[in-house]
């Protein structure tokens, strides 16, 4: 699973929103091909953590290193780094004025300057992989939530990223559509994609994660393999959290 130096390293990361200390001295490293699931109560800073990795949220102190390079400041170098890190949002954020296929091909054509014909072919193959090849020429608003999120995953994959970040990818979905998105994510994990997944889906954490990270009040409280974490959480905070979500 993990080989060589880790792909993503956060070291002593702090972030404040005004007086609120959202990330409190967080250190985490994610190996190549590793799937890390971040769980925790609302407001614990897990989404913010995910968004700092491609600098959608700047941090106040500490360092973040991706593939051996510290995150650059805003500019061309940061844009290049972002192109190597796929991101999937809670609210899909597909480009509303473009078709599904155009959503998928925009990045490779404009950022990587690839040939449109080749990108189109790869885009269609990706849409086929996530099971929505027949929706390629529709606009995002014409698709269901689950289809939109799968399109968003295909859009991120079209850049052939080194890692994928998922920021609560199923939280905005109707229950019957959660499964289709998780299936795509599970198959990605099996194929060896490096993934950081913020989620409330404990089932996914159990069967797809290599490691579960538990966050509370901006701190990284506990990390362990999923079987160990769910059977024997060490911290009181994690025990309390699990007892609340697993009793129903």
Q: Which residues bind other proteins (CB under 8 A)?
A: 54, 56, 74, 76, 79-87, 89, 91, 93-97, 106-107, 110-111, 152, 155-156, 159
For 15, the enclosing helix (H) or strand (E) is strand 8-17
CB of 92 to other proteins, least distance (A): 8
How far apart CA 124 and CA 96 sit, in angstroms, is 19
Helix axes 116-129, 145-157, angle to 10 degrees: 130
Q: In the complex with other proteins, which residue's Cβ is closer, 17 or 95?
A: 95
Q: In the complex with other proteins, which residue's Cβ is closer, 80 or 244?
A: 80
Which pair of structure tokens corresponds to residue 139? 């606009």
CB of 91 to other proteins, least distance (A): 6
Which pair of structure tokens corresponds to residue 55? 């600098």
CB of 34 to other proteins, least distance (A): 21
Q: In the complex with other proteins, which residue's Cβ is closer, 108 or 233?
A: 108
For residue 39, how many other CB atoms are within 10 A of its CB?
25
How far apart CA 160 and CA 156 sit, in angstroms, is 8
CB of 40 to other proteins, least distance (A): 22
Q: In the complex with other proteins, which residue's Cβ is closer, 98 or 206?
A: 98
How far apart CA 245 and CA 248 sit, in angstroms, is 7
Q: In the complex with other proteins, which residue's Cβ is closer, 21 or 162?
A: 162
CB of 95 to other proteins, least distance (A): 6
Residue 235 has phi, psi (to 5 degrees) of -85, 150
């Amino acid at each position: 699973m993990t080989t060589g130096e880790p792909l993503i390293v956060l070291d002593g990361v702090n972030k404040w929103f005004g007086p609120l200390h959202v990330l409190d001295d967080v250190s985490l490293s994610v190996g190549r091909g590793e799937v890390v699931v971040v769980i925790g109560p609302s407001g614990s800073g897990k989404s913010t953590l995910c968004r700092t990795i491609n600098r959608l949220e700047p941090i106040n102190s500490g360092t973040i290193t991706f593939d051996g390079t510290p995150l650059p400041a805003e500019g061309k170098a940061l844009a290049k780094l972002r192109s190597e890190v796929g991101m999937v949002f809670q609210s899909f954020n597909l480009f509303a004025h473009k078709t599904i296929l155009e959503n998928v091909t925009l990045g490779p054509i404009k950022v990587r300057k690839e040939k449109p014909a080749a990108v189109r072919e790869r885009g269609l193959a990706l849409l086929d992989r996530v099971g929505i090849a027949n929706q390629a020429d529709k606009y995002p608003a014409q698709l269901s939530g689950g289809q939109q999120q799968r399109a968003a995953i295909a859009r991120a994959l079209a850049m052939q990223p080194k890692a994928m970040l998922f920021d609560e990818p199923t939280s905005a979905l109707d229950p019957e559509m959660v499964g289709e998105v998780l299936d795509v994510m599970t198959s990605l994990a099996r194929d060896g994609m490096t993934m950081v997944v913020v989620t409330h889906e404990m089932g996914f954490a159990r069967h797809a994660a290599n490691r579960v990270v538990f966050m509370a009040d901006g701190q990284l409280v506990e990390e362990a393999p999923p079987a160990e974490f769910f059977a024997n959480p060490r911290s009181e905070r994690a025990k309390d959290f699990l007892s609340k979500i697993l009793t129903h």
